[in-house]
Each structure stands twice: as C-alpha cells, then as structure tokens.
C-alpha cells in the first residue's frame, strides 16, 4: 500500500493518530432494496455501504471507535482549489490476520494450533504484511467541502467516492465544529469552558469519540427546536432513561427563555427527586401534584421513588421540607360531579336518532336542537372538550321544549324524556361549584390548566401512580390546551408535555380500548398539531414496540439506549431510518450512553452520533451538599 505521506494530511480537519492511520477505500457496495423479510423490518439512511482497508498498527485498534467519521474524495466537481469529500460513519471495526483467514477446519490439527498460537505474538507487532484492519462505514449523505483558506462547508446529499482513494479520519476539533458550531454561535457558548454543571453549561454530555486520548467534545442541542418538534427517549430498564430525561428537562428550563414551561406526567413518581435541585430552589417556580393530600414531610418522602443510594438519605427529607414550606406541593382533586361536555351533550342527542330513524318528525326535532347547540358554541368560541355551562342550559332548554312540542314528539318516547329534562344539569353544575368552593386545597383539572397557561410556574410535575386517573387528566388538559391555542392563534409560551412510561399514554390503538384508546388518540393529536401552536411532546419508554406508530412518526429527535429485544431495534431502524449496523452498537452501551439523531435540533441533520450523557444525580447531590453545609 502506498503511504499517504506522499500528500500531507490537512491537520486542521483530519488526524492520522501521529502517522498510525493509513487507509484506502477498497469498495463501495450497493444496497439492494428487496422485498425480503429484513427489508421490511429494518431501515437504512444510505444506498451504499463502504469497505475501508487500514494498514495494521498494534495501537490502532485501541484508538478506532464505531461512530467516528471518515472522509474520502468523491467524483463531484469541485470549484477552484476546493477539495470535496464524501463523509462516512464507522459502523464496524475488526482486525484480520492473513494466516487465520486461510485456516480451515479440515487442516492438520497440530498445524492449526501452531498458526493460532503464532497469531497471538503477531498482534503485538506492526507487521503490515500479515495483518490488516477492516472497516465497514455508512455514508451519512453529506459532503465536506474544504477551501485552501482552511474554510469548510457541509453539503447535503450523497456523492459517489473514488474507490482506491485515501481515507482520512475527522479530528476532534472538526467533529466539534460539525455538530456544535451552528448552535454555539447562535447561543454564544464558549466550548472551551465546557463543564458538567447544568446551570453553567447547556451541554447534554460529551461525544463518544477519541476517548483513548481523553479528548472532551461536548454535545449541544437547539432546545427551542427540541421542544417544538418533539423528541423520544428509548431504553430498556436500567439504561438511564429517567436520568437522561430529567437531564434534558433541567437544561431546557435553565437555558431557554423564561416562558418555556414543562408539564411532566410521572406515573413512576421518580422525577420529584431527579429534579429536586430545581423544585427546591426558592427562586424557581415549580409545583408537584400528587395523587393524595400530603400533610407531613415523611408522607412526601415515602411518596416519591428514589435511587438506591438515596433511599435512606436524611438529606432528602431536609430538601423536601423546604419544598413543602415553599408551598410547592399540591394534590389532584378528581371531579365529584361529572358535568357533561359539549361533545357528550351532542353524543347523547345523536344517540336519540337510532330509536327515531323511522320517524322523520323526530329527526327534525333532533336536528333543530343539534343546530342550535353548534350555533351557540360557534358564537361563544367554545370547544367540544369544554363542560356545558349554566347559560348554555338556560339557552338550550326552551329550544328543546319548543322543538319537541312543534314536531309532536310523543310524551312516552325517549327523546321527549331527554329533551324536557335538560335543566337537571343545572343541579349538577351547582353541586360541583359548591364542592369546589369548599375544597380549596386540592387542584382540579381547571386549576392545573390555569397553572400551565397563566401562572408563572415553569415546571409542573404530575406524580400520580393510578393510570386511569392520570390518563383522564391528560385527556382533559390536552384537549382544552390545544383548543384554546387554536382559538387564540397562540404559540408562546412554549409548553413541553413529557410522558414518562409513554406506553401507558400512547399505546398501539389496535390493542387498546376505552380510556387507553382515547388517551392514545389525544396525545397523537397533540403530536401532529401541537408544534404549530408551541406545544411539544417528550416520549420516554422502554417498550417502543407497544407504542402508537402514528404518534412515533411525529418525533424529530430521538435518543436510543440499550434495547435488548430485536423487534424494538428493528422498529427504531425502520421508523427513523437508522442503519442497522450502527444501531447494533447500542447493545454494548453502559447506562448513560446513547445514540442521538435529529432531523432538526442538532448541528448536523439526521446524522447518528454516540454520546455519553451527564449524570442528573450529580446536580441533585450538589444541591444536597449545599443545604447540609449551610
């Protein structure tokens, strides 16, 4: 192999690990999209895969990592002194020994063992005639254009690389500029002063590259686009899913404008601890909403889930006492009297049609009441999700009675009974108002909605473990929230609705019924329409295969941790077009390591990258130390 030293490497962009990395592009292999089973269950972002051959060097295997980016010259025309490269992401690296490759099971056994034993010694040498490093790489559909003045530009699209050309490895500085420059310039962030401290630095963590030489490359996200265009966190139990989600929410709240709000639906009741440093901060407006009334610190302490290391930590009680003294703990009051919504009112009316199908004059009476209801709603700017009011009942009752009398509805019919008893709803409305007046400490769905829309509260942590109760609340809040923003053409404040254990809120509708199906469809509606009105969604789950796929396809950013089940990985690959070879790397992840890809919120669109997230518990620990020392 001819050495690349014949042409000097551009050190401002590339690294050769001090002369160790010498590589050539050996093959560009087309991917055939057939109708086979694998093609139906896995996705890919590229039409080709590339094979790169690297001269063997004993230290090189410890320096190369999956996820690193390679560059090879391509055939596309470059202007003037500009150089143009096709970018590829390493999906697999392995060493190859010439002797072992030719070893067969049918050879003389002592000779087989002798070759195998000899190979062990060979690996410790730099013998390039016997050994080689092979790399599989996937084009990321970007070209790198380099000018003679050290300027660079990334161009979207695939360009066919020159087979046999030298392959270069992008250095840490180039990776940093590639993924972060647009975001750091926009937010005036000094990358050289990067730190894990969430209050000082908005980074999510570090990029998993060049770890052997301890190079730190932070990763930054455009939080505004992350919130508006929805994101998902997918990992198996123990993968750090809740830790990452709380880490993202913390940084959104600390490093976005103060009109960004987060509403967290927490079935597992663990985020009250994971965001304790924010909730207990007297200067930060937050609220915890629990399922039952809390009268003591001990009750609150026992109500929230804590990591094993903090289960018996008395410092947590001190922090929770501060939370209670600041009045940041409330509880949800379920409606005692069920006042029908306009949707339910219309459904009841339409149900009368089934028994009146052969009586046209009954249908005429129903149509008159129906049209009057819709006209009232349109005039007052009301939505179907809102509860009927006393003025509406006073409006519709005489219209219903008049229609029943004019169209000669028989007094023993169901329609007659329904139409002449609408004033009974007034009693329900009055009883509900009286109970809400007496119940001043609990929070109704309407009060919670006012917290979201009108109050200064920026974090609302709804920690309710009863799935039925929290789903009812989700349906009620999201219907009214979206309808109000549509009426007012409102975008700000941005509101992020975060669903932990999302399989409970947006299950696949084919398997769901009743409130599960209703909740799934409502959250799906928010995902499809919310971004137009400043409402974003965070979906966090361990079982992606159980989710509503229509909802899943609305996510623009996703964090993928370890997913042991093959079907979950196949669904990720197919839905988000991540190459299967890159996705398999996630099986090796330890807690806190993630595959990140985004269509809109990262510096490079739809380019998967491996990251190590900062630990959210470090922020809580730092806060607990501060209150005990003071």
Q: Give 42-88 as a 3 state SS string.
A: CCCCCCEEEEEEEECCCCHHHCCCCCCEEEEEECCCCCCCCEEEEEE
- Of 372, 400, 435, the position where a domain reaches its end is 435
Domain count, the chain: 4
Query: So what's the pLDDT on residue 337?
Result: 64
Query: So what's the pLDDT on residue 52?
Result: 96
- Percent of the chain scoring above 70 in pLDDT: 94
Q: Are residues 234 and 211 in the same domain?
A: no
Report which of 20, 12, 92 is spatially closest to residue 63, judged by C-alpha positions: 20
Per residue, what are the HEC states of 337-357? Answer: CCCCEHHHHHHHHHHHHHCCC
In a domain, 175, yes or no: no
Domain that holds residue 200: 191-219
Higher pLDDT residue, 594 or 105? 594
Query: So what's the pLDDT on residue 447?
Result: 83
Query: So what's the pLDDT on residue 441?
Result: 61
Rounded to an integer, the average pLDDT of 145-165 is 86
Question: For residue range 303-335, what is the model confidence (pLDDT) as tens digits?
Answer: 899 888 888 889 999 999 999 999 999 888 876
Rounded to an integer, the average pLDDT of 286-302 is 90
Question: For residue range 140-151, what is the model confidence (pLDDT) as tens digits?
Answer: 989 999 887 767
Question: For residue range 424-473, what is the model confidence (pLDDT) as tens digits?
Answer: 888 887 777 766 665 556 788 878 888 887 778 899 999 998 999 999 89
Query: So what's the pLDDT on residue 555?
Result: 92
Encoded tokens for 534: 């400043």
Beta-bridge mates of residue 536: 496
Q: Are residues 570 and 611 in the same domain?
A: yes
Q: Are residues 27 and 103 in the same domain?
A: yes
Rounded to an integer, the average pLDDT of 566-571 is 85
DSSP sequence for 170-194: E-HHHHHHHHHHHHHHHHT--GGG-
Rounded to an integer, the average pLDDT of 125-149 is 89
Encoded tokens for 249: 């929410």
45: pLDDT strictly greater than 70: no
Sequence-ordered list of residues with C-beta below 8 angstroms from that of 585, at least 6 positions apart, any chain: 66, 67, 91, 595, 610
Q: Are residues 92 and 231 in the same domain?
A: no
Task: Give residue 33's pLDDT band: very low, low, confident or very high (50, 70, 90).
Answer: low
Q: Are 204 and 249 in contact (CB under 8 A)?
A: no
Segment (H or E) for 494:
none
58: pLDDT strictly greater than 80: yes
Region class of 490: left (phi > 0), else alpha (psi between -120 and 50), else beta: beta
pTM of the full structure: 0.83
Residue 250 phi, psi (nearest 5): -60, -45
289: pLDDT strictly greater than 90: yes
Angle at 567 between CA 561 and CA 568, to 5 degrees: 30
Task: Give residue 357's pLDDT band: very low, low, confident or very high (50, 70, 90).
Answer: confident
In a domain, 101, yes or no: yes
- Percent of the chain scoring above 90 in pLDDT: 38
Encoded tokens for 101: 């490759």
DSSP letter assigned to residue 532: G
Q: Are residues 55 and 162 in the same domain?
A: yes
Beta-bridge mates of residue 206: 218, 612
SS3 198: coil
In a domain, 118, yes or no: yes
In a domain, 183, yes or no: no
Q: Are residues 100 and 143 in the same domain?
A: yes
Q: Are residues 239 and 292 in the same domain?
A: yes
Task: Give residue 630's pLDDT band: very low, low, confident or very high (50, 70, 90).
Answer: low
627: pLDDT strictly greater than 90: no
In a domain, 495, yes or no: yes
Question: For residue range 230-287, what is the model confidence (pLDDT) as tens digits?
Answer: 999 999 988 899 999 999 999 999 998 777 899 999 998 899 999 999 999 999 999 9
418: pLDDT strictly greater than 90: no
Q: Are residues 163 and 202 in the same domain?
A: no
Task: Give residue 617's pLDDT band: very low, low, confident or very high (50, 70, 90).
Answer: very high
DSSP letter assigned to residue 589: P
603: pLDDT strictly greater than 70: yes
Q: Are residues 26 and 151 in the same domain?
A: yes
Q: Are 306 and 312 in contact (CB under 8 A)?
A: no
In a domain, 179, yes or no: no
In a domain, 186, yes or no: no
- Of 377, 411, 435, the position where a domain reaches its end is 435
43: pLDDT strictly greater than 50: no
Q: Are residues 304 and 346 in the same domain?
A: no
Q: Are residues 136 and 151 in the same domain?
A: yes
Cα atoms in the Cβ-side hemisphere of radius 13 Å centred on 154: 19
Query: So what's the pLDDT on residue 151?
Result: 79
Q: Alpha-carbon distance 7 to 366, whole Å?
A: 85
In a domain, 615, yes or no: yes
Q: Alpha-carbon distance 447 to 453, whole Å?
A: 10
Name the one residue in this structure whose structure tokens are 């700000």: 492
Q: Provide Rg for the chain, Cα atoms.
A: 31
Q: What is the CATH number of the domain that holds 619?
A: 3.40.50.300
Q: Are residues 465 and 560 in the same domain?
A: yes
212: pLDDT strictly greater than 80: no
């Amino acid at each position: 192999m001819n050495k690349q030293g014949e042409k000097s490497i551009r050190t401002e962009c590339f690294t050769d690990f001090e002369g160790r990395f010498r590589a050539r592009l050996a093959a560009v292999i087309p991917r055939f999209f057939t109708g086979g089973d694998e093609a139906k269950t896995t996705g890919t972002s590229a039409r080709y895969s590339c094979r790169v051959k690297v001269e063997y060097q004993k230290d090189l295997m410890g320096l190369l990592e999956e996820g690193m980016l390679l560059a090879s010259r391509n055939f596309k025309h470059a202007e003037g002194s500009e150089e143009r490269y096709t970018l590829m992401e390493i999906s697999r690296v392995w060493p190859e020994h010439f002797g072992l490759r030719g070893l067969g099971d049918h050879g003389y056994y002592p000779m087989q063992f002798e070759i195998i034993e000899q190979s062990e010694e060979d690996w410790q040498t730099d013998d390039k005639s016997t050994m080689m490093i092979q790399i599989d790489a996937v084009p990321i559909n970007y070209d790198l254009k380099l000018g003679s003045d050290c300027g660079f530009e990334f161009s979207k699209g695939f360009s066919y690389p020159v087979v046999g050309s030298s392959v270069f490895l992008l250095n840490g500085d180039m990776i940093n500029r590639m993924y972060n420059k647009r975001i750091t310039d926009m937010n005036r962030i000094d990358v050289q002063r990067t730190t894990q401290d969430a209050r000082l630095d908005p980074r999510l963590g570090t990029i998993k590259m060049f770890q052997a030489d301890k190079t730190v490359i932070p990763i930054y996200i455009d939080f505004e686009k992350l919130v508006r265009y929805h994101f998902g966190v997918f990992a198996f139990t123990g993968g750090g899913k809740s830790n990452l989600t709380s880490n993202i929410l913390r940084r959104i709240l600390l490093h976005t404008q103060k009109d960004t709000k987060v509403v967290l639906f927490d079935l597992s009741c663990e985020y009250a601890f994971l965001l304790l440093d924010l909730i207990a901060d007297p200067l930060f407006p937050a609220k915890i909403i629990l399922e039952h009334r809390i009268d003591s610190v001990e009750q609150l302490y026992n109500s929230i889930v804590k990591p094993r290391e903090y289960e018996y930590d008395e410092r947590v009680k001190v922090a929770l006492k501060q939370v209670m003294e600041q009045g940041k703990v409330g509880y949800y009051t379920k409606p005692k009297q069920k006042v029908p919504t306009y949707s339910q009112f219309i459904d009841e009316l339409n149900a009368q049609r089934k028994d009146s199908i052969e009586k046209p004059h009954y249908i005429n009476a129903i149509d008159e009441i129906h049209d009057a209801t819709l006209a009232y709603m349109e005039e007052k700017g009301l939505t179907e999700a809102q509860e009927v009011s006393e003025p509406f009942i006073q409006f519709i009752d005489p219209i219903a009675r008049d229609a029943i009398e004019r169209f000669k509805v028989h007094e023993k019919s169901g329609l007659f009974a329904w139409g002449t008893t609408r004033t009974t709803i007034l009693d329900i409305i009055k009883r509900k108002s009286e109970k809400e007046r007496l119940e001043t400490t609990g929070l109704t769905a309407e009060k919670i909605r006012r917290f979201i829309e009108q109050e200064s509260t920026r974090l609302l942590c709804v920690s309710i473990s009863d799935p039925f109760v929290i789903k009812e609340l989700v349906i009620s809040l999201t219907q009214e929230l979206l309808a109000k923003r549509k009426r007012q053409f409102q975008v700000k404040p941005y509101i992020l609705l975060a669903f932990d254990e999302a399989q409970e809120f947006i299950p696949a509708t084919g398997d769901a019924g009743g409130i599960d199906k209703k909740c799934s469809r409502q959250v799906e509606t928010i995902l499809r329409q919310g971004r137009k009105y400043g409402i974003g969604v965070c979906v966090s789950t361990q079982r992606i295969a159980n989710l509503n796929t229509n909802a899943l396809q609305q996510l623009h950013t996703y964090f993928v941790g370890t997913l042991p089940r093959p079907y979950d990985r196949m669904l990720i690959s197919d839905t988000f077009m991540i190459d299967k070879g890159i996705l398999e790397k996630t099986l090796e992840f330890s807690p806190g390591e993630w595959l990140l890809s985004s269509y809109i919120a990262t510096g490079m669109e739809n380019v998967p990258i491996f990251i190590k997230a900062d630990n959210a518990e470090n922020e809580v620990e730092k806060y607990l130390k501060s209150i005990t020392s003071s």
